[in-house]
Chains A and B, each alone.
Chain A
Amino acid sequence: GAVVSQHPSWVICKSGTSVKIECRSLDFQATTMFWYRQFPKQSLMLMATSNEGSKATYEQGVEKDKFLINHASLTLSTLTVTSAHPEDSSFYICSARGSMNTEAFFGQGTRLTVV
């Protein structure tokens, strides 16, 4: 399958700082990228959907000012967690899908710990 690379795989940051997570599609053009969050022993919760060149669509209850998503090119989307708090600690996963594909391919995830 297609390759999606997510970076970093883990990050520890102090409360109040911002953290940027990158998601890249390495061998295909990702017209749509999804960002998910997973709490321990729970399912993947869709946070937002982004299409290249347009604003992200956020799911209900997700603060767009806190979780900034940028999808500036067909191979890169970024999620920035602004003014991070300990309750933002979680596992964040991106996925990418091409225009002709209905399968979404996932990055390896980022474990964020806010201390």
Chain B
Amino acid sequence: DQQVKQNSPSLSVQEGRISILNCDYTNSMFDYFLWYKKYPAEGPTFLISISSIKDKNEDGRFTVFLNKSAKHLSLHIVPSQPGDSAVYFCAASAPLKTSYDKVIFGPGTSLSVIP
């Protein structure tokens, strides 16, 4: 049972345009969401996060939107750059010290930014 879903395994975007990566989750206990970027044979790098009490968080070119009622979040990258080409993982976490205190990852979306 996949609790964090990223239904697009890959995405190609022209340099300078907006990249939109989507993520859906099923467990209503999740209250904190994270996006990670990963290059092959390396550990994931934290990009941006959002708490369930917010619906938007922005950091430079990266913005994450959360629609709690739809259990959906998205990562927007504007403008997209070739260096953004990587696999992006959406992750979800439940409150600390609860029985579901863990970070669960989606399957990832491979983003290719075309120069």
Interface residues of A (CB under 8 A from B): 1, 4, 6, 32, 34, 36, 42-44, 46, 49, 91, 93, 95, 97, 99, 102-109, 111
- With A103-B46, A106-B44 already in contact, the answer to whether A46 and B102 are too (CB < 8 A) is yes
- A/B interface sample: 29 pairs, CB < 8 A: A1-B46, A4-B43, A34-B102, A34-B103, A36-B105, A43-B105, A43-B106, A43-B107, A46-B104, A93-B44, A95-B43, A95-B103, A97-B103, A102-B32, A102-B34, A102-B49, A102-B51, A102-B93, A102-B96, A103-B34, A104-B34, A104-B46, A104-B103, A106-B44, A106-B45, A107-B43, A108-B43, A109-B43, A111-B41
The residues of B that contact A108 with a CB separation of less than 8 Å are: 42-43
How far is it, in angstroms, between the C-alpha of A91 and the C-alpha of B42 when the chains are bound? Answer: 9
Select B102's contact among A49, A93, A99, A106, beta carbons within 8 Å: A49
Beyond contacts A34-B102, A46-B103, A106-B45: 16 other A-B pairs, Cβ-Cβ < 8 A, are A4-B43, A32-B101, A34-B103, A36-B105, A42-B107, A43-B105, A43-B107, A46-B102, A46-B104, A49-B102, A95-B44, A102-B32, A102-B93, A103-B34, A103-B49, A109-B41
In the bound complex, do residue A6 and residue B43 qualify as a contact, i.e. CB atoms below 8 Å apart?
A: yes
The residues of A that contact B45 with a CB separation of less than 8 Å are: 106
For window 69-115 of B, CB contacts with A under 8 Å fall at: 89, 91, 93, 96, 101-108
The majority secondary structure among interface residues of chain A is: strand
In the bound complex, do residue A93 and residue B46 qualify as a contact, i.e. CB atoms below 8 Å apart?
A: no
Size category, B interface: 20 to 34
The residues of B that contact A107 with a CB separation of less than 8 Å are: 43
- With A42-B107, A104-B34 already in contact, the answer to whether A109 and B42 are too (CB < 8 A) is yes
The residues of A that contact B62 with a CB separation of less than 8 Å are: none
The residues of B that contact A104 with a CB separation of less than 8 Å are: 34, 46, 91, 93, 103
B65 at the A/B interface (Cβ < 8 Å)? no
Residue in B closest to A42 when the chains form the complex, CB atoms? B107
For window 28-63 of B, CB contacts with A under 8 Å fall at: 32, 34, 36, 41-46, 49, 51
